[in-house]
Amino acid sequence: NAGVTQTPKFQVLKTGQSMTLQCAQDMNHEYMSWYRQDPGMGLRLIHYSVGAGITDQGEVPNGYNVSRSTTEDFPLRLLSAAPSQTSVYFCASMPTPGNTIYFGEGSWLTVV
């Protein structure tokens, strides 16, 4: 998990609360993304960014916002948390599309 840092590691939210999952990488990677992982499932793409100032939706974007004001940071915002957003969230980065992708260690989110 070289150079991709996620915080917090664990979080419990009440339904309707908002929060931001932080992701930072120090490898000067252009591409960053957020995935969620649910039991028995592979990882599913939420949002991604191919460079500062550029973001786009993945497979499951509803309920999440992102921004990419710098190359290093790619925060994921939950505006009004729902129990369906209980999951493990992984941030990832790669130098350019087509290269090896590196994952953070994950953020365990529970919405009650």
Partner 1 sequence: GQQLNQSPQSMFIQEGEDVSMNCTSSSIFNTWLWYKQEPGEGPVLLIALYKAGELTSNGRLTAQFGITRKDSFLNISASIPSDVGIYFCAGQPRGSQGNLIFGKGTKLSVKP
Q: Rule CB under 8 A: which residues touch partner 1?
A: 1, 31, 33, 35, 40-45, 48, 50, 56, 58-59, 90, 92, 94, 96-106
Radius of gyration of the chain from its Cα atoms, rounded to whole angstroms: 13
- The distance of closest approach from Cβ of residue 39 to partner 1 in the complex, given in angstroms and rounded to an integer, is 10
Nearer to partner 1, 62 or 98 (CB): 98
CB burial of residue 78 (10 Å; 0-12, 13-18, 19+)? buried
Distance CA 46, CA 83 (A): 16
CB of 4 to partner 1, least distance (A): 8
Q: Other CB atoms closer than 10 Å to residue 97's CB: what's the count?
A: 10
Nearer CB in complex with partner 1: 10/16: 10
We find the least distance from the C-beta atom of residue 98 to partner 1, in angstroms, to be 6
Between residues 17 and 102, which has the closer beta carbon with respect to partner 1?
A: 102
Asked if 24 contacts 72 with a C-beta cutoff of 8 angstroms, the reply is yes
Of the candidates 51, 56, 54, the residue with the CA atom closest to the CA atom of residue 29: 51
Give the nearer residue to partner 1 in terms of CB position, either 26 or 56: 56
- Shortest CB 70 distance to partner 1, Å: 19
**Chain length of the chain:** 112
